[in-house]
Amino acid sequence: MHKQLKNDLIHLSSLLEQTKQASEPYLNEINERPPATFFSKKESLEISHEGLGAAKTLDLFLERYGDHMPASNGPRFWGLVTGGTTPASLMGDWLTSVYDLNLSHAANSIAPNIEMETIHMLRQLFGLSENFSGAFTSGATMSNFAGLAMAREWVGRQFNKNISQEGLHSIAPIKVLSSEAHSSSFKALAMLGIGRGNMKVISKLNGNREAMDISALKIALAELKGEPCIVIANAGTVNTVDFDDLQEISHLKSEFKFWLHVDAAFGGFAACSPKYAHLLNGINSADSITVDAHKWLNVPYDSAMIFTKHRDLQISVFQNSGAYLGEIAEPVDFIHLVPENSRRMRALPAWFSLNAYGLAGYQDIVERNCLMAQKLGEMIEASNMFHLVAPVRLNVACFTLNGDLSAERVKTFLTRLRDDGRVFMTPTVYQGIPAIRAAFSNWRTEEADLDIAWQAMTECYK
Ligand SMILES: *Cc1c(COP(=O)(O)O)cnc(C)c1O
């Protein structure tokens, strides 16, 4: 054994202790650290011949990068929808690497049971019926990919074709209908050979809404004259967290032939609060559902779930049979259900967090985040520097600067805000208006953070 490996093996316990000690200053200072930093790369290191050993490598990392690590999992990273890491999920994530199990097959470990148990708890958290099975993926993009791959397979079956076997050329181009699909769904359509260009954009409701106009959807479905298609519904749009009326869409299923994929990447967490759960009414009639875990579940990157009622189609697409991998039998190995073959024990951080905080813990995170968005919205409306471009519906305040508005001015403001280091937000364009999103999805965020952020926002405003 190479001397550095041997030495590290002997000192493993001390190395873990050192790693814990190195983590503590970061975790203790998370409220003070800048949530985002811009850092231009230094020259790359060359690989050494003998290696430094783990202890010196930790020193090297801390010296080279430690101070530059931003607190994007702290309470004032309000860009994108970023979530955080609960204490329990951090523990689960650490143990995931300790055990380092490959969660593709059931025959060699208990890990698939942990994933199934976690999915069962998540179904309860989201109010999903037992008809849904689920599996972890590396993110909502891969979940959308998986959901739309099953949708593609379903469309093929309507023509008595097996697309995963025969290929896409066996049927005419597949039509996809959605009003405000997330960019990752377009990416998925590109990867699936359906094509970004085959998305038909359905008009939205009037009155500052991002939700689909169901009568327009009905007309588009009727125009297809019985041809099966895919509908992507949004449960939580990124700009204003608007929800398509899933109940109304599901009623259309009796009249028209379509696969309903619901992108509930973060909006699915509305289910955690009796105040907001109604936004998801009808979700149980979906054929596939995407929910992200590294967002509002507050587990570390990277983690998401795909839920579906169509295991047979899922297996048809994702089966990975090979002599050395064995036959497909119940319970179906995860290798046959998702794009990834080898996969880490991604369910364990979620398992820890769900057990540690329960329904009430997640209700608290969701409601507190929504309250913060609401309050920020009120501060914005009362100020003469900013105004909301849409009402605050859930956990995002979408707003812009007063006065002469340009994308450039928004960018300059956001750069100044980032470099100030107290709060971080990201730009968007909403109905043609250059705007800013403040998205709340971190368990640590409290009222004091609003005051700190507001101070920074007013000082950076010009
Ligand atoms: C974030 C997001 C995605 C993509 O998620 P990743 O986890 O980054 O792959 C898809 N849909 C919606 C609505 C999102 O908010």
Give the residue-averaged pLDDT of 291-304: 98
- Residue 375, pLDDT > 90, answer yes
CA atoms within 13 A on the CB side of 341: 5
Which residue from 161, 419, 95 is spatially nearest to 313, judged by alpha carbons? 161
Q: Is the CB of 437 under 6 A from ligand 1?
A: no
Rounded distance from Cα 265 to ligand 1 centre (Å): 6
Q: Is the CB of 265 under 6 A from ligand 1?
A: yes
- Residue 318, pLDDT > 80, answer yes
Alpha helices (H) along 100-139: 111-126
Q: Residue of the nearest CA to atom 10 in ligand 1?
A: 140
Identify whether 302 is preceded by a cis peptide bond (ω within 30 of 0): yes
**Given strand 426-430, what is the order of strands in its sheet?**
386-388, 396-401, 433-439, 426-430
Out of 99-103, 279-283, 453-457, least confident range = 99-103
Which DSSP category does 23 fall into?
A: H
**CB 153, CB 291: distance < 8 Å:** no
Q: How far apart are CA 348 and CA 109, in angstroms?
A: 14
Q: Is the CB of 238 under 6 A from ligand 1?
A: yes
Q: Residue of the nearest CA to atom 5 in ligand 1?
A: 140
- What 3-state class would DSSP assign to 200? strand
Confidence of residue 325 (pLDDT cuts 50, 70, 90): low
Q: How far apart are CA 77 and CA 437, in angstroms?
A: 11
Q: How far apart are CA 188 and CA 148, in angstroms?
A: 7
Distances (CA, A) of 268 to 201, 205, 272: 22, 21, 8
Give the residue-averaged pLDDT of 424-434: 96
CA atoms within 13 A on the CB side of 28: 6
Q: Is the CB of 139 under 6 A from ligand 1?
A: yes
Q: How far apart are CA 269 and CA 291, in angstroms?
A: 8
Nearby residues of 400 by Cβ (< 8 Å), 6 or more positions away: 386, 387, 389, 410, 433, 434, 435, 436
Q: Is the CB of 184 under 6 A from ligand 1?
A: yes
Distances (CA, A) of 26 to 35, 40, 63: 12, 21, 14
Taking only the tens place, the pLDDT of each residue in 94-146 is: 999 999 999 888 778 899 999 999 999 999 999 999 999 999 999 999 999 99
Between CA 368 and CA 335, with CA 136 as vertex, the angle to 5 degrees is 180
pTM equals: 0.97
Which of 81, 178, 184, when mutated, tests ligand 1's pocket best, judged by the most ligand atoms within 8 Å of its CB? 184
Task: State how beta strands 426-430 and 433-439 pair.
Answer: antiparallel
What is the residue type of 228?
P
| Long-range contacts of the stretch 339-344 (C-beta < 8 A, 24+) | 339/137, 339/142, 339/145, 339/146, 340/104, 340/137, 340/138, 340/142, 341/104, 342/102, 342/104, 343/102, 343/103, 343/104, 343/136, 344/96, 344/100, 344/101, 344/102, 344/103
**CB 70, CB 37: distance < 8 Å:** yes
Beta-carbon count within 10 A of 193 CB: 13
- Residue 288, pLDDT > 90, answer yes
| pLDDT for res 170 | 87
- Mean pLDDT (the chain, rounded): 96
Rounded distance from Cα 61 to ligand 1 centre (Å): 30
Q: Which residues pair with 330 in a beta bridge?
A: none
Q: How far apart are CA 170 and CA 428, in angstroms?
A: 39
Handedness of CA 183, 83, 292, 343 (dihedral sign): positive
Q: How far apart are CA 32 and CA 26, in angstroms?
A: 10
Q: Which atom belonging to ligand 1 lies closest to the Cα atom of 236?
A: 13
Taking only the tens place, the pLDDT of each residue in 14-55 is: 999 999 999 999 999 999 999 999 877 778 999 999 999 999
- Within its chain, how far is the Cα of 7 from the centroid? 40
Identify whether 300 is preceded by a cis peptide bond (ω within 30 of 0): no
Q: Is the CB of 81 under 6 A from ligand 1?
A: yes
Q: How far apart are CA 305 and CA 191, in angstroms?
A: 19
| pLDDT for res 202 | 98
| pLDDT for res 321 | 81
State the CATH class of domain 91-352.
Answer: alpha beta
- Residue 326, pLDDT > 70, answer no
Q: Is the CB of 292 under 6 A from ligand 1?
A: yes
**440 phi and psi, to 5 degrees?**
-105, 120
Taking only the tens place, the pLDDT of each residue in 162-215 is: 999 999 998 999 999 999 999 999 999 999 999 999 999 999 999 999 999 999
Confidence of residue 226 (pLDDT cuts 50, 70, 90): very high
Q: Which atom belonging to ligand 1 lies closest to the Cα atom of 80?
A: 1
Give the residue-averaged pLDDT of 278-283: 98
Q: How far apart are CA 392 and CA 389, in angstroms?
A: 9
Taking only the tens place, the pLDDT of each residue in 381-421 is: 999 999 999 999 999 999 999 999 999 999 999 999 999 99
Which of 80, 136, 292, when mutated, tests ligand 1's pocket best, judged by the most ligand atoms within 8 Å of its CB? 292
